[in-house]
Amino acid sequence: MTEINIRLTRYGSRIAATLTAAALAELAERYGGDGDSTPIEPGEFDPPEGGFLVAYVAGAPAGCVGWRTLTEDDQFETAELKRMYVAPEHRGLGVAKALLTAVEDDARRAGRKRIWLETGTAQPEAIGLYERSGYARIEDFGHYKGYPDVRSFGKDL
């Protein structure tokens, strides 16, 4: 079994920037354009309104995920999952599942009661992970609401 170490880090850190750039490059390959044009302010991922996590395998950065408080939620109970990514050389080792569990735990500790996310039809492996992890389709929301390929999911924490 692969040992996966997950650490909370700043969204603006060098390692977070490297991983998110790789994530956006992969999204650009799958969808075209810049990959994801969702407006993001780095401070949105700072505790207690958010968190950004990096997974390491054998000391090497393997993936990342973040959450931010959904601005449309007046009660501040909904976390929005963003920038879920696992580097290709670390796929199939359980990194994505470990990151998903860690981000849910972090959002729960910060008082969030649910977590929502947007993904798309060009990411069938992501959709499979979310469905296997108890996420259900919800009404589309956010930046890509109304796009034909968007798929929104949510889960109670």
Digit-coded pLDDT (tens) for 96-153: 999 999 999 999 999 999 999 999 999 999 999 999 999 999 999 988 898 889 999 9
Count of domains forming the chain: 1
Tell me whether residue 86 is in a domain: yes
For residue 54, pLDDT over 70 is answered with yes
For residue 1, pLDDT over 80 is answered with no
For residue 47, pLDDT over 90 is answered with yes
Q: How long is the chain? A: 157
Residue range of the domain that includes 107: 4-113
Tell me whether residue 127 is in a domain: no
Tell me whether residue 134 is in a domain: no
Question: Quick count: other Cβ atoms within 10 Å of Cβ 60?
Answer: 10
Tell me whether residue 146 is in a domain: no
Question: Chain-wide mean pLDDT for the chain?
Answer: 94
Tell me whether residue 91 is in a domain: yes
| CB-based contacts of 59, cutoff 8 Å, min separation 6 | none
What is the distance between the terminal CA atoms of the chain, rounded to a whole angstrom?
A: 27
Tell me whether residue 45 is in a domain: yes
Tell me whether residue 130 is in a domain: no
